[in-house]
Homo-oligomer: A and B are copies of this chain.
Amino acid sequence: MNSPNVLIAGRWQTSRGTEAFHAADPAKGVDLPEPYPISDWQECESALAAASEAAAGEIDPARLSHFLTRYAERIETRRKEIVEMANLETALPTAPRLNDVELPRTTGQLRQAAAAALEGSWAMATIDTKSNIRSRLASVGPVLIFGPNNFPFAFNAVSGGDFAAAIATGSPVIAKAHPSHPGATRLLAEEAFAAVGECGLPKAMVQMIYHLSKSDGLRMASDPRIGAVAFTGSRTGGMALKAAADAAGKPVYLEMSSVNPVVILPGALRERLTKIADEFADSCLAATGQFCTNPGLVVLVAGEQTDKFVAEVKSRFDSRPAGPLLARRGAASLAAGVKSLIDAGAAVITGGRAAEGAGWRYANTLLRVSGEEFLANPKHLQGEAFGNAALLVIARDVAETTKILGQLEGNLTGCIYSETHGADDVIYNHLAAILRRRVGRLINDKMPTGVAVSSAMNHGGPYPATGHPGFTAVGIPASLRRFGRLECYDNVRHSRLPNLLVNKNPTGKTWRMIDSAWTCDDVRTEPN
Interface assignment of A491: CB less than 8 Å from any CB of chain B: yes
Interface assignment of A443: CB less than 8 Å from any CB of chain B: yes
Interface assignment of A359: CB less than 8 Å from any CB of chain B: no
Q: Closest CB of chain B to A477's CB: distance in Å?
A: 8
CB-CB under 8 A from A445, the residues of chain B are 491
Interface assignment of A486: CB less than 8 Å from any CB of chain B: yes
User: How many copies of this chain?
Assistant: 2
Partner of A469, one of B140, B243, B443, B491: B140
**Tier of interface size on chain A:** 35 or more
Task: Map CB proximity to B onto A396-427 as digits: 1 under 8 Å, 0 otherwise.
Answer: 00000000000000100100000000000000
CB-CB under 8 A from A442, the residues of chain B are 487-490, 492
Provide the bound-state CA to CA distance between A513 and B457, in Å.
13
CB-CB under 8 A from A524, the residues of chain B are none
Q: Please state if B454 and A496 are interface contacts (CB–CB under 8 Å).
A: no
CB-CB under 8 A from A130, the residues of chain B are 454
Q: Please state if B440 and A488 are interface contacts (CB–CB under 8 Å).
A: yes
Interface assignment of A249: CB less than 8 Å from any CB of chain B: yes
* A481-507 interface (Cβ within 8 A of B): 481-482, 484-493, 496
* A21-66 interface (Cβ within 8 A of B): 56-57
Partner of A463, one of B249, B410, B437: B249
Q: Closest CB of chain B to A321's CB: distance in Å?
A: 30
**Chain B, residue nearest A429 (CB):** B496
Interface assignment of A3: CB less than 8 Å from any CB of chain B: no
Interface assignment of A133: CB less than 8 Å from any CB of chain B: yes
Q: Please state if B141 and A491 are interface contacts (CB–CB under 8 Å).
A: no
Interface assignment of A428: CB less than 8 Å from any CB of chain B: yes
Q: Closest CB of chain B to A44's CB: distance in Å?
A: 21
Can you name 29 A-B pairs with beta carbons within 8 Å?
A126-B478, A127-B456, A128-B455, A128-B457, A131-B452, A131-B454, A133-B454, A135-B472, A137-B470, A140-B470, A246-B246, A246-B247, A249-B463, A250-B463, A251-B468, A251-B470, A413-B490, A440-B488, A443-B492, A444-B490, A456-B488, A457-B488, A458-B486, A469-B485, A470-B484, A470-B485, A471-B486, A478-B486, A511-B518
